[in-house]
Amino acid sequence: MKRPMKLLCPLLLLLFVTPLHAQIGASPEEFSVRLGKPERETLKESGLIRFRKQGLCYIAHFENNRSDVLSIFSENQLMDLPEDLGEDRIASLLVSEGGNVTWNPSGRFSINRVWNSSDGKSFAVYDTMRHKLVIMTRAAYKREKSAVERARL
């Protein structure tokens, strides 16, 4: 009887200390557990929920109850723009919010910083003018691009 308990305790401990992430692929509930009460919720109207935590603003878009676009920027303003997130914070956010994948810099020339996920399902862009990090699934990008094309017709 002692032996099964010795094995069960570490497994239970792992379950309770595994962090929930508010990241690409997470549900609205997972975002709320990690980031607290939403600052603004328009899930039914636009699929968006906005959070604020530890000096950052998070705007998450949900499709089929899963986040597929996540915008992150500083709540601190400088001349009506969010403060720059900085290299270290961007790298940290890609790890913590990027869906448990490795991020590789894109080889394309751009004024913005661009990364591709190692699984090929997502990409991230840091808008150097607006100081905003956007992590997006390729499925969300295709859906948005199709919507823009339909609107033009």
Structurally, the chain folds into a number of domains equal to 1
Per the domain annotation, does 11 fall within a domain?
no
Give pLDDT, residue 22: 61
Per the domain annotation, does 48 fall within a domain?
yes
Nearest to 123 by CA among 55, 70, 50, 56: 70
Q: Which residue has the higher pLDDT, 3 or 142?
A: 142
Confidence of residue 89 (pLDDT cuts 50, 70, 90): very high
Per the domain annotation, does 9 fall within a domain?
no
Amino acid letter, 146? S
Residue count of the chain: 153
Per the domain annotation, does 43 fall within a domain?
yes
Q: Is the pLDDT assigned to residue 124 strictly greater than 70?
A: yes
Per the domain annotation, does 3 fall within a domain?
no
Q: Is the pLDDT assigned to residue 6 strictly greater than 60?
A: no
Per the domain annotation, does 7 fall within a domain?
no
CB 65 within 8 A of CB 78: no
DSSP state of 101: -
pTM of this prediction?
0.82
Q: Is the pLDDT assigned to residue 30 strictly greater than 50?
A: yes
Per the domain annotation, does 5 fall within a domain?
no
Mean pLDDT calculated for residue range 41-70: 94
Residue 39 belongs to domain spanning: 21-152
Per the domain annotation, does 88 fall within a domain?
yes
Nearest to 35 by CA among 17, 55, 63: 55
